[in-house]
């Protein structure tokens, strides 16, 4: 499971971000700073973090000034300590000032996702479980946020609704039952990457097992319930063809308990919907 964004789509995103921020023009910079002035900008970590998006950061300024020179000394996935400088840019002073907020917002956001993901991955080190993201992403930023999860050492769940079947509580309610929902989903076997169903108790689990889905999502269960559910799945499927996933109420404080309960996947919406932006600054001086 992975997620990627091609260069053309990436440029289109960055252009849209700049258009939103610049509007009809950066009237402050264009009035105060001479068009011919050159400047240098240093990215500085103000706290420990996992870097994500540094190439995108530089690309924002290249879109404003094709002559931008970027010296990137630290790369995505590397951990920075306070005071370290992962990149130094030289470009038109106007470009550096105009692009600063978009570039820095993006770098802080993506590095925040990567940093939080790394903390979850480390919390379950030594277990067989994997940390996955969800579709709880910022509209318009899904590809970039899922990339940041990969940078942090996590894995991607579905990139969109067309990739795999995930039957949730509301689907089951509308279909009438767990068996009815799974029977209907069998028409997508071979087309979808996997068929997954959410269960909230052991009765639903047993009903799901009778139809051998690819993945069973154990939703909002505590670690003890998850352990019992995993044991039942393994009794039914000793070859471990059916994967198990835990989701709901998972935090850094309890994630290891879920991992040690034996699940294959642990999906954490907080990776993208609640990751705090990291503290980075961009200090600009005359070249």
Within 10 Å of residue 283's Cβ, how many Cβ atoms? Answer: 10
Task: Assess whether 159 carries a catalytic annotation.
Answer: no
Instruction: Give the active site residue among 88, 101, 119, 135.
Output: 101
Task: Assess whether 198 carries a catalytic annotation.
Answer: yes
Q: Are strands 280-286 and 38-45 parallel, antiparallel or unpaired?
A: antiparallel
Instruction: Give the active site residue among 76, 198, 204, 264.
Output: 198
CA quadruple 174, 132, 124, 46: dihedral sign: negative
Range list of β-strands (E), 116-209: 130-132, 165-167, 195-199
Task: Assess whether 46 carries a catalytic annotation.
Answer: no
Computed on alpha carbons and rounded to an integer, the radius of gyration of the chain in Å comes to: 23
What are the structure tokens assigned to 17, written together? 């971000």
Instruction: Give the active site residue among 88, 119, 136, 206.
Output: 136
Instruction: Give the active site residue among 15, 122, 128, 168.
Output: 168
In sequence order, what are the beta bridge partners of 247? 219, 267
Instruction: Give the active site residue among 59, 145, 204, 219.
Output: 219
Which CA distances in Å does 118 have to 112, 121, 122, 251?
Answer: 10, 5, 6, 13
C-alpha dihedral over 68, 73, 77, 80, to 10 degrees?
-120
Of 14, 7, 87, the C-alpha closest to 51 is: 87
Burial class (CB in 10 A: 0-12, 13-18, 19+), 137: buried
Active site residues: 101, 136, 168, 198, 219
């Amino acid at each position: 499971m992975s997620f990627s964004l091609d260069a053309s789509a990436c440029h289109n995103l960055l252009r849209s971000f700049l258009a939103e921020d610049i509007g009809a023009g950066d009237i402050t910079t264009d009035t105060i700073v001479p068009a011919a002035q050159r400047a240098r900008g240093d990215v500085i970590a103000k706290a420990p973090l996992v870097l994500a998006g540094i190439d995108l950061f530089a690309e924002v300024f290249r879109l404003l000034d094709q002559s931008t020179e970027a010296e990137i000394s630290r790369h995505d996935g590397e951990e920075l300590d306070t005071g370290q400088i992962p990149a130094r840019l030289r470009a038109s002073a106007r470009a550096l000032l105009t692009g600063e907020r978009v570039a820095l917002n993006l770098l802080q956001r993506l590095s925040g996702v990567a940093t939080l993901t790394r903390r979850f991955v480390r919390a379950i080190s030594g277990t067989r479980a994997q940390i996955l993201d969800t579709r709880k992403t910022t509209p318009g930023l899904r590809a970039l946020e899922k990339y940041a999860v990969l940078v942090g050492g996590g894995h991607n769940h579905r990139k969109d609704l067309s990739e795999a079947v995930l039957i949730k509580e509301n689907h089951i309610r509308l279909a009438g039952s767990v068996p009815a929902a799974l029977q209907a989903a069998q028409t997508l076997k071979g087309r979808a990457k996997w068929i997954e169903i959410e269960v909230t108790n052991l009765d639903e689990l047993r009903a799901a097992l009778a139809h051998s889905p690819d993945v069973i999502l154990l939703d909002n269960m505590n670690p003890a319930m998850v352990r019992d559910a995993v044991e039942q799945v393994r009794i039914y499927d000793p070859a471990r063809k059916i994967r198990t996933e835990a989701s709901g109420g998972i935090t850094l404080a309890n994630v290891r308990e879920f991992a040690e309960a034996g699940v294959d996947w642990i999906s954490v919406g907080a990776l993208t919907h609640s990751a705090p932006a990291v503290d980075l600054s961009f200090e600009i001086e005359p070249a």
